[in-house]
Amino acid sequence: MKTEQKDQEKYQQQLEKKSSEVRGAKKYSDILSRVIHDGEEIFKIKNKAMFLSAVIAGLEIGFSYFLVCTLYYLLGGTLEVHIIFKLFSVVYPVGFILVILGKSALFTEQTSVLALPVLNGQRTIWELLRIWSVVIIGNVIGGIIFAVFIGILGPQLNLFTQETMVEIGSHVISQDSWVLLMSAVVAGWLMGLLTWLLNSTMNSLTRVFLIIMITGVIGFGGFHHSIVGNIEVFGAFLHSDTISFLDYLWFLILVLLGNGIGGAVVVGLFKYRIFESNYAEKE
């Protein structure tokens, strides 16, 4: 009797283990399918609508920059500068929450999403480059508009000064080119991972927590996000005698490239290949 009972318990444990594996496989497969579906839906949006959505995203993400400038100005002289830069992580997620939950078109959020339909054979690389171009141009224009606007309004409301904008932008652009590129790869990697995680849950509070967690890491680490960085460096360029337009342009090219690599290659390609090969046979 004892032997039979042990065999039955062992058999039951094997069944539970197999059931758990199937549920896990289905969950990963569901996430992959959902991300690919989201990417395919984005490809169907008309260029004009996508461009306007991207401009709005560039404006909305500016509220992260606005809060960063305000925090730097308020804490200046009371804390060491390197500590203030770390505290940016507290306010950095605000613009991302506005953009992501508001469904505006942000380049770094869509990088891995749009790459997956291409990897799945549903879209071509040229279609991908076309929509990336539309989103990037819209994000950059929106960010430039916000930098000009807040550079006039902020000092008038005594929220921060134009010198604050210069100091923040100078700090962002101060690294060597290879550091900017690698830092941008990490930021793109994290944003691609955020997109993947957001598709694993529909709970609003959980989604907000994930946005705060991932973008907070970007802010704390000082990793270079192209769209926020666009506002930071362009804002400094407007009021600085040492930052040229070529400096701004070179920075923007590097961080856009790095974010694209981090999102599309590290997250999009690796996750697609790993999960597809590992779980396709279990479905």
DSSP 80-136: -HHHHHHHHHHHTHHHHHHHHHTT---HHHHHHHHHHHHHTTSS-HHHHHHHHHHHH
Q: What was the pLDDT predicted at 283?
A: 52
Q: What was the pLDDT predicted at 20?
A: 46
Instruction: Tell me the per-residue pLDDT of 144-178, one tens digit each, with 9 for 90 and over.
Output: 999 999 999 999 999 999 999 999 999 999 999 99
Query: 24-279: what CATH class?
Result: mainly alpha
User: Which structure tokens are listed for 117?
Assistant: 């339909």
Confidence band for 276, pLDDT divided at 50, 70 and 90? low
Q: What was the pLDDT predicted at 26?
A: 47
Confidence band for 14, pLDDT divided at 50, 70 and 90? low
User: Structure pTM?
Assistant: 0.86
Instruction: Tell me the per-residue pLDDT of 249-272, one tens digit each, with 9 for 90 and over.
Output: 999 999 999 999 998 887 777 777
- CA angle at 137 for the pair 187 and 178, rounded to the nearest 5°: 35
Q: What percent of the chain has pLDDT over 70?
A: 87
Using DSSP, state whether 189 is helix, strand or coil: helix
Instruction: Tell me the per-residue pLDDT of 27-72, one tens digit each, with 9 for 90 and over.
Output: 667 777 788 888 888 999 999 999 999 999 999 999 999 999 999 9
Distances (CA, A) of 17 to 13, 53, 99: 6, 46, 40
Q: What was the pLDDT predicted at 8?
A: 55
Confidence band for 115, pLDDT divided at 50, 70 and 90? confident
Confidence band for 24, pLDDT divided at 50, 70 and 90? very low
- Distance (Å, rounded) from C-alpha 173 to C-alpha 234? 10
Q: Is a pLDDT exceeding 60 seen at residue 281?
A: no
Q: What was the pLDDT predicted at 23?
A: 44
